[in-house]
Chain A
């Protein structure tokens, strides 16, 4: 069992009690965002409330990226996942990156992966989606 301290790779990923994503939802119009907000782009209101995003979804679009900027490991599958009506950007992981194994409409679920460990021994944990 690992005793390493873990932190999420991005702020909108929560590791406890089980890994899931949290969006900022506009309290006026319900628009959802994953980034730090100044106001709602849809209705300009400024109040947001955190909402948990379903951890299961459907692949709405994908690309298998085989040529990327220096430092980016290839190949990887970039995708948009429809998680119960909220679109999420993610990689498809735990799945061979080829068109025989990744398809439009495929059912997937959230999974986590350790990105790396820093000098203090803290692990950064990222999310992806794997075939369900």
Chain B
């Protein structure tokens, strides 16, 4: 069933996303690691490499976690790649296994973000009596955020969605709100989501406007959470129990890209080109196409972002994202369900955990273990994550044939 350079997820775990006032990042990360090891049926003694991410932390989360769950002397990598940090940790572990240096690797992402407020914005204001002084790459005499466009994430991603509307038409406030309505509806079946209440279109559109056209429920929810995964090569997997082989999920593609230069990419982040490139490489590596997918977890950090990624991941014709959504395809009973977990808008977005949590969701379905929200007969799924500015991770996961 396996070649030596095949990569499999042997075990994976996601903590409850939400507020965990009594747990610190080490508690949450340890819970994810211990859950993933138990799910895999192995211990820290079997793990040859650890890659860990925690953006808001001190930069040594891997070693802090080892000191709680097992100090075995293995190489530990602390990785950082904005919202793609989790996927980057997983890629790091996969590369080590694929290179043949180790049989098994462990990746973890953890974040404490509950109550963190707005990310990506701010700047230093000039004291009243100072004289103007030029700073930074633009030689600005004051903070540019709010004076020359916005650096706040809701505003940046609002423009990314509006740009799509300008190019192809049909994308307006109501359409973006409908995407959010879908994800909030999906979240009602996910007990691990930070928020799992359905919201009506009217509620969503009349909620607090953050950055038009994104109201508050159309923005990813800051919360606490962690996710971890154990990866293994095909040769080693063959030596394990039939039950472990049956539950193992094949990583048919694992891709990480950065943004290639495009006109305007240094004016407004271009999340499209690198996602399309990652998707194209992933489909080629996996030998599957978008039509073969049973579900997709994509990076809906804002409702405006979800729309453009239908197109970037080639779930629809180029320019056809509005029609794709309006057809009902992306709903859980549609042709290609998108974000059945509830997405970042309701499940939550503890940034470093997100790029493994989306893979956990797909694994639940292809293993047939997603309970109430199971997509029946799911065999193949895709998980996508974006971090500014910019990194994109795309993984394609397939059910074991064992």
Q: List the interface of chain A (C-beta within 8 A of B).
A: 7, 9-12, 31-36, 41-42, 59-74, 76, 78-80, 85-91, 99, 104-105, 115-116, 118-120, 122, 124, 126-127
Contacts and interface: CB of A to CB of B under 8 A. Distances in A.
Given A63-B158, A66-B211, A72-B121, A41 B149 contact: no
Interface stretch (B81-89, B122-130, B287-295, B333-341): B122-130
Contact of B267 (A66, A70, A89): A89
B146 A119 contact: no
B142 interface: yes
A118 B132 contact: yes
A59 B155 CA distance: 15
B210 A67 contact: yes
B130 A119 contact: yes
Interface residues of B, number: 51
Nearest to B158: A63
B212 A63 contact: yes
A79 to B, nearest CB: 7
Nearest to B141: A124
A59 B149 CA distance: 13
Output the residue of A91, A104, A120 with the most chain B CB within 10 A: A104
A69 B118 contact: yes
Interface of B: 118, 121-123, 125-126, 128-132, 134, 137-150, 152, 154-156, 158-160, 162-163, 165-166, 173, 208-214, 261, 263-264, 266-268
Given A11-B138, A67-B209, A105 B266 contact: no
Contacts of B150: 63, 65, 68, 76, 78
Contacts of A124: 132, 141-142
Nearest to A86: B263
A128 B127 CA distance: 23
A70 B122 contact: yes
A42 B142 contact: no
Contacts of A126: 147-148
Nearest to A73: B146
B131 A68 contact: no
Given A7-B132, A67-B154, A71-B123, A91 B211 contact: no
A10 B129 CA distance: 20
Given A68-B121, A89-B267, A104-B166, 19 more contacts: A7-B132, A10-B139, A10-B144, A31-B261, A35-B137, A59-B166, A61-B160, A62-B159, A62-B162, A66-B209, A67-B208, A68-B152, A69-B121, A72-B122, A73-B146, A87-B268, A116-B142, A118-B126, A119-B130
Contact of B266 (A35, A68, A73): A35
A65 B211 contact: yes
A9 B159 contact: no
B173 to A, nearest CB: 7
Contact of A115 (B142, B160, B212): B142
Nearest to B263: A87
B292 to A, nearest CB: 33
B131 to A, nearest CB: 5
Given A31-B261, A80-B267, A87-B264, A64 B212 contact: yes
Output the residue of B126, B140, B141, B213 with the most chain A CB within 10 A: B141
B138 A10 contact: yes
B212 A41 contact: no
Nearest to A42: B261
Contact of B159 (A63, A70, A85): A63
B118 A80 contact: no
B261 A36 contact: no
A11 B267 contact: no
B140 A9 contact: yes
Contact of B148 (A31, A89, A118): A89
A122 B163 contact: no
B211 A64 contact: yes
B87 to A, nearest CB: 23
Nearest to B133: A118
B173 A99 contact: yes
B226 to A, nearest CB: 27
B212 A11 contact: no
A120 B145 CA distance: 24
Give me the 6 closest cross-chain CB pairs, A-B, nearest first: A11-B139, A63-B158, A72-B146, A87-B264, A69-B121, A61-B163
A41 B137 CA distance: 15
Output the residue of A7, A11, A105, A120 with the most chain B CB within 10 A: A11
A80 B159 contact: yes
B148 A10 contact: yes
Contact of A71 (B125, B128, B138): B125
Contacts of B158: 63
Contacts of A78: 149-150, 155, 159, 211
